[in-house]
Amino acid sequence: MPFLGRYRLVDFPLSNMVNAGLRTVGMVMPYNYRSIIDHVGSGKDWNLDRKNGGLFVLPGSAFGTSRTGARFLLRDLVHNKVFFTRSKSDYVIFSTANFVYNMDLNELYDAHVASGADVTVLTKQASGNDADVTGFELDGSRVNGVKHGVSFGDTAFLDCFVISRQLLLDMFDWYAATDYLDLFEAMANDYGRVNVQAYNFDGYAAAVFNKKSYYRSNMDALDPRINAELFPEGRFIKTKAHDTSPAKFEVGSHVTNSLVSAGCRIFGNVGDSILGRNVIVESGATIRGSVVMQDCVIKSGARVENAIVDRNNLVPAGTELRGTPEDVLVKEKGRE
């Protein structure tokens, strides 16, 4: 899923892992894995093209991750047991690609080792209601229940946790009969035995599960403070490299409060928006409060307002794509 112009959501967890020093990363593939392979390739852009360790592409089950609420489907993990048995590492860090944040995962790992917990989950106080986010019920910092959906003030799961490799392999045996469940659902009756500790992340983190949260999290990045948290000095978010020229702001263009990716050519007006690579905004065209993905062309006189325009769209001259901040218009992917 493209995010913030030049990124994809997966760049964030993948970069967090690599920046924390992880050198062996397995990725469980969705049913349709063309675009993810196209993006990560051999893992070269994350320095994961290695002889020892590196990036491992792990098959996922056909309807695995698409089931609502399942983040770490046991079947997907058990299916790839050999990846874990062959490893010599003591610990495994798991993450989905549903959250955007930039964090030194060593903090999570250090907390895990220091507390002696069996599992340490990365959490954050929910700042609003979100039916797609997993919540934890806590006793102190110890997890004693899991639920789907969070409301304001709940402990939201950032879909990232640490576990010892040996315990993970043991769990494969314990929960073999319920492999259609998410790991944390399978653990539901076991929170007395398995010590799961929550580690609170107090930086910026956004869930990206639907149109609304996708739009909001993109717009969040226009706030310089949030932008600085997502892209701090020395902890870069890495992504697939492209040969794109710098963006060109032509004579007479007018751009305010926007993120503009390389390769864009802007003749018209852009405000409060995010432009992907190689977007062309012709003179007299206006983009406001929108996310316009790569290779789109906004023709002269066209107007795009409060919209998400997927890649390769051509917005014809003089036409309009208009949503409202509450109900953003989505223009599906255009023709390749």
Binding site for another protein (CB under 8 A): 4-7, 45, 222, 224, 227, 230-231, 236-239, 241-243, 245-263, 265, 274-275, 278
Closer by beta carbon to another protein, 135 or else 276: 276
Closer by beta carbon to another protein, 23 or else 147: 23
Token duo for residue 8: 């994809």
What residues have CB less than 8 Å from 185, skipping those under 6 apart?
Answer: 69, 70, 146, 178
State the minimum distance, in angstroms, from the CB of residue 103 to another protein.
16
CA of residue 71 relative to chain centroid, distance: 13
Phi-psi region of 149 (alpha: psi -120 to 50; beta: other; left: phi over 0): left
Closer by beta carbon to another protein, 77 or else 287: 287
State the minimum distance, in angstroms, from the CB of residue 120 to another protein.
29
Closer by beta carbon to another protein, 116 or else 246: 246
State the minimum distance, in angstroms, from the CB of residue 275 to another protein.
7
Closer by beta carbon to another protein, 102 or else 120: 102
State the minimum distance, in angstroms, from the CB of residue 92 to another protein.
26
State the minimum distance, in angstroms, from the CB of residue 244 to another protein.
8
Alpha-carbon span 231 to 149, nearest angstrom: 28
State the minimum distance, in angstroms, from the CB of residue 5 to another protein.
4
For the residues of 25-92, what is the DSSP string, one character each?
Answer: EEEE--SS-HHHHHHHTTSGGGT---SSSEEEEE---TTTTTSTT-SSBHHHHHHTHHHHHH---SEE
Alpha-carbon span 138 to 198, nearest angstrom: 8
State the minimum distance, in angstroms, from the CB of residue 249 to another protein.
4
Size of the chain, expressed as the number of residues it contains: 336
State the minimum distance, in angstroms, from the CB of residue 248 to another protein.
6
Closer by beta carbon to another protein, 105 or else 260: 260
Alpha-carbon span 268 to 315, nearest angstrom: 14
* Element (DSSP H or E) covering residue 131: strand 130-139
Q: Is 132 exposed, middle or buried (0-12, 13-18, 19+ CB in 10 A)?
A: middle
Cα radius of gyration rounded to whole Å, the chain: 21
Q: How many CB atoms lie within 10 A of CB 305?
A: 20
State the minimum distance, in angstroms, from the CB of residue 236 to another protein.
4
Alpha-carbon span 290 to 321, nearest angstrom: 10
Contact 10, 99 (CB under 8 A): no
Closer by beta carbon to another protein, 67 or else 254: 254
Token duo for residue 202: 């107090």
Closer by beta carbon to another protein, 105 or else 181: 105
Contact 11, 238 (CB under 8 A): yes
Closer by beta carbon to another protein, 74 or else 230: 230
